[in-house]
Amino acid sequence: MKKQPEVALLIETSNAYGRELLHGIRSYWREHRSWTIYLPENARGQPPPAWLKNWKGDGIIARIENKRIAEAVLKTKLPAVDVSAARLATGLPWVETNDDAIARLAAEHFLERGFRNFGYYSDERFNWSKWRRDSFMKYLSAAGHRCAVFTRPASKAPNWKKENQALAEWIFKLPKPSGILASYDNRALQLLETCRQLEIAVPDEIAVLGVNNDELLCDLGDPPLSSVIPNARRAGYEAAVLLDKMMRGLTVAPEAHLFEPLGVATRQSTDVLAVTDSHISSAVRYIREHACKGIQIEDVLRHVPLSRRIFEKRFQKAIGRTPHEQIQSVKINRVKALLTETDLPLARVADRAGFAHVEYMSVAFKKIVGMPPRDYRERNSGQ
């Protein structure tokens, strides 16, 4: 291998997800050793660059979105890592965000706000859209709810007028209030615009949640769009780790490497509580704002004029979990964010998330998340 490896990055720069992948790749090679980078200007799904056919580089990281790119990458016989969910080059290691975890976060986001009616806007061109749909419906079904689905056709040349009309009819028929998860931010913006045209109040009648947290698109929404934050930067970093191993002659199995999302960026499009019980609505808001200060149920009861027995019964009925579970959920989500976004020692993480002892935090975290905090940080921390 050359002293300075030459690596082709076939990743679009036209959207936030692709750019975050590139940030992660850059972090790896800056920390370890420089690569000579070949980055053609392209959008998702474009043909492979003509120069790739005779390119004599050392490795490739590609978002393989169509068969032409898959064939071109495989024909080079160079070490390569796929960062697409399309799975068109099954012999390569594959790095992606965890779509099941994205859907779970979205379901929890709506359920915590008291929604009982749900929708999903699917884009059938993409595997990840279908995976998110299935998982979103699975988690809602486990909570005792159904989910209506609007499916965008897989056609490469859709009839936008007919599609928008069909989308409007679907939204109009949904029970109100409803929480809708869009497969990604672009489709969420379409939902917001359709609601505006129908004069449907967002978020009071329809709450809209996107995926990817493209800040420009989210800010263009009217109202600004809430969105799930995928850990694309960590995925890019891991793709670089795997490629470096392959370029060094090490064997890397052609298996999936999936990373959990970082959380939900809450903006106005979902900033609502769909709970008719004003006391429970107030309690949920209080817990959201104070859980990480180490509050107990007794603290919540000081702000709600109900007996503990009645409060817990009404809370369970409205939110689908106990007040204690709600407090723990808020605290654990805070722990996740601190583990992935900071280098704080576990004792400081526990303190900031409202746990009196790091040992108790670790036990609670493993019980809910399924792994110790250190393992979660190692798997998901941004680079």
Question: What whole-number distance in Å separates Cα of residue 278 and Cα of residue 235?
Answer: 42
Kindly state the average pLDDT of the residues 92-105: 95
* Residue 1 falls inside a structural domain: no
CA distances (Å), 93 to each of 97, 248, 253, 342, 355, in order?
14, 15, 6, 28, 39
| Domain interval for residue 155 | 99-231+264-270
Terminal Cα distance for the chain, rounded:
26
Q: In this structure, are 195 and 255 located in the same domain? A: no
- CATH classification of the domain holding 179: 3.40.50.2300
* Residue 49 falls inside a structural domain: yes
Q: What pLDDT score does 274 carry?
A: 75
Split at pLDDT 50, 70, 90, the class of 320 is confident
| Residue 25, helix vs strand vs coil | helix
Share of the chain above pLDDT 70, in %: 97
- CATH classification of the domain holding 293: 1.10.10.60
* Residue 197 falls inside a structural domain: yes
Q: In this structure, are 219 and 256 located in the same domain? A: no
pLDDT digits (tens, 9 = 90+) for 46-59: 788 889 988 999 99
Q: In this structure, are 282 and 338 located in the same domain? A: yes
* Residue 350 falls inside a structural domain: yes
Reported in sequence order, the residue ranges of 129-215 that DSSP labels E, i.e. its strands, are 147-152, 178-182, 206-211
Three-state DSSP string of 46-88: CCCCHHHHHCCCCEEEECCCCHHHHHHHHHHCCCEEECCCCCC
Number of separate domains in the chain: 3
Question: What whole-number distance in Å separates Cα of residue 212 and Cα of residue 13?
Answer: 14
Question: What whole-number distance in Å separates Cα of residue 237 and Cα of residue 21?
Answer: 7
Q: Is the pLDDT of residue 312 over 70?
A: yes
Q: In this structure, are 17 and 38 located in the same domain? A: yes
Q: What pLDDT score does 317 carry?
A: 85
| Residue 201, helix vs strand vs coil | coil
Q: Is the pLDDT of residue 154 over 60?
A: yes
Q: In this structure, are 117 and 196 located in the same domain? A: yes
Q: What pLDDT score does 362 carry?
A: 95
Question: What whole-number distance in Å separates Cα of residue 89 and Cα of residue 50?
Answer: 19
Q: What pLDDT score does 47 carry?
A: 81
* Residue 210 falls inside a structural domain: yes
Q: In this structure, are 192 and 176 located in the same domain? A: yes
Split at pLDDT 50, 70, 90, the class of 31 is confident
* Residue 311 falls inside a structural domain: yes
Last residue of a domain, one of 210, 244, 270: 270
Q: Is the pLDDT of residue 337 over 60?
A: yes
Q: Is the pLDDT of residue 378 over 60?
A: yes
* Residue 223 falls inside a structural domain: yes
Q: Is the pLDDT of residue 41 over 80?
A: no
Q: Is the pLDDT of residue 382 over 70?
A: no
CB 125 within 8 A of CB 182: no
Last residue of a domain, one of 214, 240, 270: 270
Q: In this structure, are 325 and 355 located in the same domain? A: yes
Q: What pLDDT score does 64 carry?
A: 92
Q: Is the pLDDT of residue 62 over 60?
A: yes
Q: In this structure, are 20 and 61 located in the same domain? A: yes
Split at pLDDT 50, 70, 90, the class of 86 is confident
CB 259 within 8 A of CB 379: yes
Kindly state the average pLDDT of the residues 135-153: 94
Q: In this structure, are 187 and 135 located in the same domain? A: yes
Q: What pLDDT score does 155 carry?
A: 65
Q: In this structure, are 108 and 92 located in the same domain? A: no
Burial of 377 (0-12, 13-18, 19+ CB in 10 A): buried
Kindly state the average pLDDT of the residues 13-41: 89
Q: What pLDDT score does 157 carry?
A: 64
Does the pTM surpass 0.75? The reply is yes
Average pLDDT, the chain: 91
pLDDT digits (tens, 9 = 90+) for 217-269: 999 999 999 999 999 999 999 999 999 999 999 999 999 999 999 999 999 99
* Residue 72 falls inside a structural domain: yes
Q: In this structure, are 106 and 227 located in the same domain? A: yes
Q: In this structure, are 123 and 88 located in the same domain? A: no
Split at pLDDT 50, 70, 90, the class of 136 is very high
